[in-house]
Structure 1
Amino acid sequence: MRVPTISRVEVYPVELPITRTFVFASGSAGKAGAGARLVFVRVLDEEGRYGWGECRPMPGWSYETLETVVTTLRRHLIPAVVGTPASDLAGLHARMHAAIGRGPSTGQPIARSALDMAVHDLLARALGVPLRALLGGSPRPASVALSYTVTAASPEAASREVSAARAKGFEHFNFKVGVHPETDVQVARAIREAAGPEAFVWADANQGLAVERAARVAEGLAEAGVDVLEQPFAADKPHLMRVFRGRCPLPLAVDEASVSPSDFLLYASEGLVDYLVVKVTRSGGLWPSIAQVHIAQAFGLPLLISGLTDSMLTKMAACQLGAAFGCQGPAALNGSQFIDDSALFPTKAQVEHDGRVWLPELPGVGIEPDIDTLRSLEVKEV
């Protein structure tokens, strides 16, 4: 097989309907009735073979927006990578780094992630293997259990929400801490009781706590049966994690603070975290995410999978990565709870149902957007 070479990249900024309001301590993923903005890219080689990538920039979560992602791709990253062999993933990232350098961490990681994903998809398609096999896993069909995001603010509503999700096949649950601080512990207790003892219950603070508040909340969450507390403090304040570590009765994880492999290495080497949260879009794509996984393995840390309310393309790619390293979940990939991407992905119901993502033996990521629908949803004013 001739190794594919990147010859052309198409960029599609789109807007999808938001079906439910989703608020977290540091911002929002949007309000029901509004639009969720995503950027899709298609990488083509000289023979017309292609691969798809996607990202969802959210200004409430990071500094990247739809506009910055599109201009970064079109003016900087794409010109830098055209002509690169798809198999040269290290070279791909070196060229992207030369075009957009790092600050304290990876420069424009969300924009990079879409291009990285598309090149991985192209290469796996060209080889005729599922993405998980390209990443070193088995090509056999696999599944990854999803974690349902509970948005209720009261324990009664949380209990009803968990019961309804369990009826749909969900086994694991996550919720946001700090949005309604007066009910955080009661909601946690209600989720655990409704979910049962086998469920993994995951509390995410999204940088929204101060140390004293975090210490009090963590004690209540531990008593309620929560399994992990994620990102209690601002991403640029690792010293607070050092102060908090000895006072926290819960396992800890970071999210916004762990963009590059070196970011995660800092937390792991100091013994400040108990899990790696794999988030492909946040980390600049699959290639740097794999580096984070290897660091976690070296420290004996298990994996969790998360996302940015992405569409099915990123959800499938993240699950492919998890499956390659034996992670069967939980995966807090909750895009389907909050955005409607069903028109883009006609086969979605075949790969996401019963609270799991089912990975087929198809080459590449395992799903792709309908190109005509994608073009009809394009945002024209960028």
Structure 2
Amino acid sequence: MLPAVTDLRARRYSAPLARPFITARRRVDTMLGVLVELELADGTVGHGSAGQSFGVTGESVDSVLAVLNGPVKQALTERADTGRREVAAGIAGSCVGNFAAKAAADMALHDAWARTLGVPLAEALGGDTATVLRTDMTVSLDTPQRMADAAVEAVGDGFDVLKIKLGNDWRADLERLRAVRDAAPDVRFRLDANQGWDVKAAIRVIRAIEDAGIPLELVEQPVADHDLAGMAAVTAAVDVPVMADESVSSPHSALEIVQRRAADMLNIKLAKCGGMDEALAIADIARAAGIECMVGAMMEPRISIAAAAHLAAAHPAVTLVDLDSAEWIDDPDLSGGYTLRGSEMHLHPGPGIGFAPWVKGEQE
């Protein structure tokens, strides 16, 4: 049994980015989000967080705070001692949508739960914190020269896999990728179009990249999230693995993608699906279908990245991670969860996900 939840505290979070984060859909200069603490009756405190992301979850800082301080808190604090899964189901059923807010509370719940067990979250979920995760580094959408310069800097920092943001215009995208390849010829590339191409453009640019011999691990979300038929057409037409990202928001959507053979891989993000149990269910579907998963994140506070890393270490279907978001945030005060050595993520060996509580009273 899990001790009853006695309090849920949430506060605004803001920190500048070290450099602008630019995709085909948005530009971010400042990290805006929410930090969460969940307290159990025995005094155990768990941590979670959420980022503002209108383009993916449709949530703002204000909406996340409203949901956490309203229906989520009510659903949690009205429960007596019960099991972890039942409490997580209470978060999921507290309101419609609002998945980033639910994920923040769910992270805090799972952090607290693992702390009561005295083990890291990855181990509580059946994984191993000794697993070394290797993340990529993102090169955001910009001019070819600036992207090339960013690639050189990332390689100098120890990253050998780069995630290249494209999806603006397929001809310009090819020029950008060629510039990055020339600047960093010894790395592997993951491309993320963020829904920026139509089907014909996606097939055209991916085939051109294949013909040029540029080494690609995958191409992520080449077309609009709702266009599963279009993504299936791209997947069938190219040799490079296609990964669904924005199209994957629940076990139901993952199952549909698998059944329609719309993608070769799935990208799981806690903020999209709302919590650990939903994320693990997506990974279970992928494993049953014999396909691999990536665990990724949006521009979110470090707590979210740590929780995602523990998720990645907990499921065998997860073979790739894209968890560099916190490295873009210029905030030395929010530390913990893991250590990054070049591209290697080493998880916190203590109970939970490894963040210290803030002073009580700092909440909204």
TM normalised by structure 2 equals: 0.90
Contact 1:344 1:369 in 2 (8 A): no
- Which residue pairs with 2:325 in the alignment? 335
- Which residue pairs with 2:104 in the alignment? 114
1:212 pairs, out of 200, 205, 229, with 200
Task: Write the distance in 2 (CA, Å) between the matches of 1:21 and 1:157.
Answer: 12
What secondary structure, in the 3-state scheme, does the structure 2 residue paired with 1:166 have?
helix
Asked whether 1:271 is paired with 2:261, we answer yes
Contact 1:344 1:373 in 2 (8 A): no
Task: Write the distance in 2 (CA, Å) between the matches of 1:132 and 1:371.
Answer: 23
Does 144-153 or 169-178 show the bigger shift?
Answer: 144-153
Which consecutive residues of structure 2, in runs of 5 or more, have no partner in the other structure? none
- Which residue pairs with 2:3 in the alignment? 4
What secondary structure, in the 3-state scheme, does the structure 2 residue paired with 1:371 have?
coil
- Which residue pairs with 2:291 in the alignment? 301
Summarize the Cα distance change of 1:245–1:322 in structure 2 as closer, same or farther, 3 Å threshold: same
What pairs up with 1:132-171 in 2 under 5 angstroms?
A: 132-139=122-129, 141-151=130-140, 153-171=142-160
Task: Write the distance in 1 (CA, Å) between the matches of 2:143 and 2:171.
Answer: 10
TM normalised by structure 1 equals: 0.86
Task: Write the distance in 1 (CA, Å) between the matches of 2:358 and 2:205.
Answer: 47
Contact 1:145 1:329 in 2 (8 A): no
CA RMSD, 1 decimal? 2.5
- Number of corresponding residues: 362
Contact 1:8 1:45 in 2 (8 A): yes
Task: Write the distance in 2 (CA, Å) between the matches of 1:86 and 1:286.
Answer: 20
- Given residue 188 of structure 1, which amino acid in structure 2 is its aligned partner? L
Asked whether 1:131 is paired with 2:121, we answer yes
- Which residue pairs with 1:23 in the alignment? 22
Please report how far the alpha carbon of residue 158 of structure 1 lies from its aligned counterpart in structure 2 after TM superposition: 3.4
Summarize the Cα distance change of 1:370–1:76 in structure 2 as closer, same or farther, 3 Å threshold: closer
Asked whether 1:40 is paired with 2:35, we answer yes
Summarize the Cα distance change of 1:270–1:238 in structure 2 as closer, same or farther, 3 Å threshold: same
Asked whether 1:179 is paired with 2:174, we answer no
Please report how far the alpha carbon of residue 156 of structure 1 lies from its aligned counterpart in structure 2 after TM superposition: 4.3
What secondary structure, in the 3-state scheme, does the structure 2 residue paired with 1:258 have?
coil
Summarize the Cα distance change of 1:84–1:173 in structure 2 as closer, same or farther, 3 Å threshold: farther
1:60 pairs, out of 40, 55, 59, with 55
Does 81-90 or 56-65 show the bigger shift?
Answer: 81-90
Summarize the Cα distance change of 1:186–1:325 in structure 2 as closer, same or farther, 3 Å threshold: same
Task: Write the distance in 2 (CA, Å) between the matches of 1:47 and 1:370.
Answer: 15
What secondary structure, in the 3-state scheme, does the structure 2 residue paired with 1:99 have?
coil
Please report how far the alpha carbon of residue 129 of structure 1 lies from its aligned counterpart in structure 2 after TM superposition: 0.3
Please report how far the alpha carbon of residue 178 of structure 1 lies from its aligned counterpart in structure 2 after TM superposition: 1.6
What secondary structure, in the 3-state scheme, does the structure 1 residue paired with 2:10 have?
strand
Summarize the Cα distance change of 1:374–1:209 in structure 2 as closer, same or farther, 3 Å threshold: farther
Please report how far the alpha carbon of residue 330 of structure 1 lies from its aligned counterpart in structure 2 after TM superposition: 4.0
- Which residue pairs with 1:104 in the alignment? none
Contact 1:116 1:287 in 2 (8 A): no
Summarize the Cα distance change of 1:204–1:323 in structure 2 as closer, same or farther, 3 Å threshold: same
- Given residue 218 of structure 1, which amino acid in structure 2 is its aligned partner? I
Task: Write the distance in 1 (CA, Å) between the matches of 2:109 and 2:204.
Answer: 46
Contact 1:56 1:308 in 2 (8 A): yes
- Which residue pairs with 1:95 in the alignment? 90
Summarize the Cα distance change of 1:160–1:15 in structure 2 as closer, same or farther, 3 Å threshold: closer
Q: Percent sequence identity over matched residues?
A: 25
Please report how far the alpha carbon of residue 94 of structure 1 lies from its aligned counterpart in structure 2 after TM superposition: 3.2
Asked whether 1:51 is paired with 2:46, we answer yes
- Which residue pairs with 1:231 in the alignment? 221
Please report how far the alpha carbon of residue 299 of structure 1 lies from its aligned counterpart in structure 2 after TM superposition: 0.9
Contact 1:188 1:226 in 2 (8 A): no
